[in-house]
Amino acid sequence: MKTIKVALAGAGAFGIKHLDAIKLIDGVEVVSLVSRELDKTREVAAKYGITHVSTDLADSLALKEVDAVILCTPTQMHAEQAIACMTAGKHVQVEIPLADSLSDAEAVVELQKKSGLVAMCGHTRRFNPSHQWMHNKITAGEFNIQQMDVQTYFFRRSNMNALGQARSWTDHLLWHHAAHTVDLFLYQTGGSIVAANALQGPIHPTLGIAMDMSIQLKSSSGAICTLSLSFNNDGPLGTFFRYIGDSGTYIARYDDLIDAKENRIDVSKVDVSMNGIELQDREFFAAIREGREPNASVAQVLPCYRVLSRLEKQLSSHQQGA
Mean pLDDT of 173-188: 95
180 and 291 in a single domain? The answer is: no
Residue 310 lies in a domain: yes
150 and 237 in a single domain? The answer is: yes
Residue 300 lies in a domain: no
The pLDDT tens digits for 45-89 are 999 999 999 999 999 999 999 999 999 999 999 999 999 999 999
207 and 316 in a single domain? The answer is: yes
The b/e string for 119-135 (b: 16+ C-beta within 10 A; e otherwise) is: bbbbbbbbbbbbbbbbb
In which band, very low, low, confident or very high, does the pLDDT at 161 lie, cut at 50, 70 and 90? low
205 and 311 in a single domain? The answer is: yes
Specify the higher pLDDT residue, 192 or 209.
Answer: 192
Mean pLDDT of 306-320: 88
175 and 257 in a single domain? The answer is: yes
129 and 265 in a single domain? The answer is: yes
Residue 234 lies in a domain: yes
Burial class (CB in 10 A: 0-12, 13-18, 19+), 177: buried
> Can you list the alpha helix ranges (DSSP code H) found in the chain?
13-22, 38-48, 57-61, 78-87, 102-115, 129-139, 179-189, 276-290, 298-321
Give the model's pLDDT for residue 255. Answer: 86
320 contact partners, CB below 8 Å, separation of at least 6: none
- Asked whether residue 160 carries a pLDDT value surpassing 90, the answer given is no
What counts of helices (H) and strands (E) characterise the chain?
9, 13
Residue 40 lies in a domain: yes
Give the model's pLDDT for residue 164. Answer: 59
- Asked whether residue 288 carries a pLDDT value surpassing 60, the answer given is yes
Give the domain CATH number at 107. Answer: 3.40.50.720
Residues 124, 121: Cα–Cα separation, whole Å: 9
What total number of domains does the chain contain?
2
Give the model's pLDDT for residue 53. Answer: 98
40 and 81 in a single domain? The answer is: yes
166 and 224 in a single domain? The answer is: yes
Residue 301 lies in a domain: no
- Asked whether residue 158 carries a pLDDT value surpassing 90, the answer given is no
19 and 73 in a single domain? The answer is: yes
- Asked whether residue 134 carries a pLDDT value surpassing 50, the answer given is yes
Which stretch, 152-156, 173-177, 310-314, has highest mean pLDDT?
A: 310-314
Segments forming the whole domain that contains residue 134: 125-273+306-321
14 and 66 in a single domain? The answer is: yes
Q: Which of 96, 38, 85 is nearest to 63 (CA)?
A: 85
pTM of the entire structure? 0.93
In which band, very low, low, confident or very high, does the pLDDT at 278 lie, cut at 50, 70 and 90? very high
Give the model's pLDDT for residue 169. Answer: 46
Give the domain CATH number at 315. Answer: 3.30.360.10
209 and 115 in a single domain? The answer is: no
Mean pLDDT of 231-245: 92
112 and 134 in a single domain? The answer is: no
Mean pLDDT of 212-219: 97
Q: Which of 275, 276, 257 is nearest to 267 (CA)?
A: 257
| Beta-bridge partners for 33 | 8, 53
Residues 66, 31: Cα–Cα separation, whole Å: 7
